[in-house]
Amino acid sequence: MDQANILIIGGGVIGCAIARAVSQRWQDVFLVERFPKLGMATSTRNSGVNHAGLYYPKNSLKAKLCVEGNRMTYEFCAKHNVSFRHTGKLVVATNAHEEVELAALKKRAEDNGVDGLRLIGPAEIRAIEPHVRGTAALHVPSTGIVSAEELVHAYARLATSQGASIVTHAQVVSLEPAGGMIRVGLRIGDEEDSQDETIEARCVINSAGLYADEVAGLLGNHSWKIYPVRGEYCEIRGPRSTLINNLVYPLPHTDGLSLGVHFTKTLWGSVLVGPTASYVEGKDNYEKNRLPIAEFAHSAKTLLPEIEESDLQLGYSGLRPKLVPPSGSGIADFVITRDPAVPHAIHLVGMESPGLTAAPAIAEHVSKMVAEILG
Ligand SMILES: Cc1cc2nc3c(=O)[nH]c(=O)nc-3n(C[C@H](O)[C@H](O)[C@H](O)COP(=O)(O)OP(=O)(O)OC[C@H]3O[C@@H](n4cnc5c(N)ncnc54)[C@H](O)[C@@H]3O)c2cc1C
């Protein structure tokens, strides 16, 4: 039976960033991913925005790790040849009531340590985004975009170069405490042709994204339930993509479900419109009952009156691992905690946005927890 110091469950951006961080310090690090390739779940089905840290309650993990992660992500991308653009973004108000909310958002963001924020008027909005209509906007210089796919693979490549073993097509199917170790049951390969293997690990890190609640359940911990909330995109391609230069957001939804349908100029020159937010049944339900394009056009017209339904094509979708049930409201914080009954297991649950941005800061945070376990 193989033995590991650290076994990481899940090869999304967070698992890969953790593998890179912990393999700098410890040997015998394994990362296992159930899909044949890394980053195929939420980590490459998002907006690819390197968020500034505007929206999250003061002193929350989301606020702290996003602000730190934003800086770390830019540094990492520049150093390791990951494509990115440091664009800045506008959060746009369209009436007096929203202008009050905008001022409150600025205050919250400053409390979180976000620098360089400025309230601007219609003339400056037009100078930055000539086609966007608004009465005022918050200019956020630290926001930008990154290639999520390249980021996942760069973290994984560095982890491997530091000696970590990354095994894809390997699903964790059981977890069993055994003395000071955790016995990890793996199903390797696909359904028709699989074999079972076991690894014993001194520390297990559960970064299984949408399935982190079920993986915690394998250890008998049923503290969490993840509700998938689908975010759908449309895309503007070709000449009409010049309607947007950088990133343009409305005020966030007050229900805490999403940041509202926004515009993201991608690294490949198109504009993403979305994501929407709706609870769905099923953790792989990306396509069933997709929203009609007309609904995107309708929402998008508030900030971008020139947009027409014919400018839009249906794009991809992603699933947010929400901890707040459909009947609830508000923002749940990231959960990053040692298991109370099996303290050499660390669970990361509810790792929704800004998880892509925060990944390197999350990895440092988890690395400190691992040091408490392994010494
Ligand atoms: C629509 C949308 C837009 C977003 N936009 C942004 C944004 O612009 N900026 C930002 O910072 N964040 C954004 N996010 C959030 C960000 O994408 C996530 O926080 C981040 O990708 C989470 O990474 P992860 O590694 O935890 O999850 P995942 O990418 O889901 O990775 C978890 C992995 O675990 C694997 N796994 C699950 N169970 C097992 C098992 N039993 N055994 C082995 N492997 C297993 C899965 O296959 C998966 O690959 C967005 C999210 C969505 C849905």
Give the span between the Cα atoms of 321 and 318, in whole angstroms: 10
Tell whether 343 and 362 lie within a shared domain: yes
The pLDDT of residue 257 is 67
CB of 43 closer than 6 angstroms to any ligand 1 atom: yes
Tell whether 40 and 154 lie within a shared domain: yes
CATH of the domain at 172: 3.50.50.60
Domain boundary among 298, 322, 346: 322
CB of 9 closer than 6 angstroms to any ligand 1 atom: yes
CB of 355 closer than 6 angstroms to any ligand 1 atom: yes
CB of 274 closer than 6 angstroms to any ligand 1 atom: no
Q: Is residue 272 part of a domain?
A: yes
Pocket test for ligand 1, best of 348, 356, 362, 365 (most atoms within 8 A of CB): 356
The pLDDT of residue 328 is 85
Residues 6 or more apart whose CB falls under 8 angstroms from that of 298 comprise none
CB of 19 closer than 6 angstroms to any ligand 1 atom: no
Name the nearest CA neighbour of 283 among 41, 32, 11: 41
Pocket test for ligand 1, best of 46, 153, 365 (most atoms within 8 A of CB): 46
Distance 209 CA to ligand 1 centre (A): 5
Tell whether 220 and 231 lie within a shared domain: no
Distance 3 CA to ligand 1 centre (A): 27
Give the span between the Cα atoms of 160 and 153, in whole angstroms: 10
Give the span between the Cα atoms of 10 and 7, in whole angstroms: 10
Tell whether 120 and 266 lie within a shared domain: yes
Q: Is residue 169 part of a domain?
A: yes
Residue 321's beta-bridge partner residues? 228
**Does pTM surpass 0.75?**
yes
Give the residue, by CA position, lying nearest to ligand 1 atom 18. Answer: 355
Tell whether 313 and 349 lie within a shared domain: no
Tell whether 278 and 197 lie within a shared domain: no
Give Cα separations from 90 to 201, 204, 235 (angstroms): 46, 40, 19
Tell whether 202 and 267 lie within a shared domain: no
CB of 66 closer than 6 angstroms to any ligand 1 atom: no
Name the nearest CA neighbour of 253 among 105, 96, 63, 47: 105
Q: Is residue 335 part of a domain?
A: yes
CB of 172 closer than 6 angstroms to any ligand 1 atom: yes
Give the residue, by CA position, lying nearest to ligand 1 atom 33. Answer: 10
Tell whether 96 and 33 lie within a shared domain: no
Q: Is residue 186 part of a domain?
A: yes
Distance 366 CA to ligand 1 centre (A): 17
Give the span between the Cα atoms of 6 and 70, in whole angstroms: 26
Domain boundary among 322, 342, 361: 322
Indicate the number of domains in the chain. 2
pLDDT tens digits for the chain (375 residues)? 689 999 999 999 999 999 999 999 999 999 999 999 999 999 999 999 999 999 999 999 999 999 999 999 999 999 999 999 999 999 999 999 999 999 999 999 999 999 999 999 999 999 999 999 999 999 999 999 999 999 999 999 999 999 999 999 999 999 999 989 999 999 999 878 899 999 999 999 999 999 999 999 999 999 999 999 999 999 999 999 999 999 999 998 766 666 778 999 999 999 999 999 999 999 999 999 999 999 999 989 999 999 999 999 999 999 999 999 999 888 899 999 999 999 999 999 999 999 999 999 999 999 999 999 998
Tell whether 189 and 154 lie within a shared domain: yes
Tell whether 211 and 338 lie within a shared domain: yes
Pocket test for ligand 1, best of 9, 43, 61 (most atoms within 8 A of CB): 43
Domain residues for 293?
86-143+227-322
CATH of the domain at 259: 3.30.9.10
The alpha carbon of residue 329 and the mean position of all alpha carbons in its chain are separated, in whole angstroms, by: 20
Q: Is residue 27 part of a domain?
A: yes
The pLDDT of residue 256 is 62
CB of 205 closer than 6 angstroms to any ligand 1 atom: no
Domain boundary among 286, 301, 322: 322
Q: Is residue 64 part of a domain?
A: no
Contact 281, 271 (CB under 8 A): no
CB of 356 closer than 6 angstroms to any ligand 1 atom: yes
Q: Is residue 79 part of a domain?
A: no
Distance 40 CA to ligand 1 centre (A): 8
The pLDDT of residue 260 is 73
Q: Is residue 33 part of a domain?
A: yes
Tell whether 318 and 235 lie within a shared domain: yes
Tell whether 138 and 237 lie within a shared domain: yes
CB of 53 closer than 6 angstroms to any ligand 1 atom: no
Give the residue, by CA position, lying nearest to ligand 1 atom 13. Answer: 353
Name the nearest CA neighbour of 43 among 329, 268, 348, 297: 348
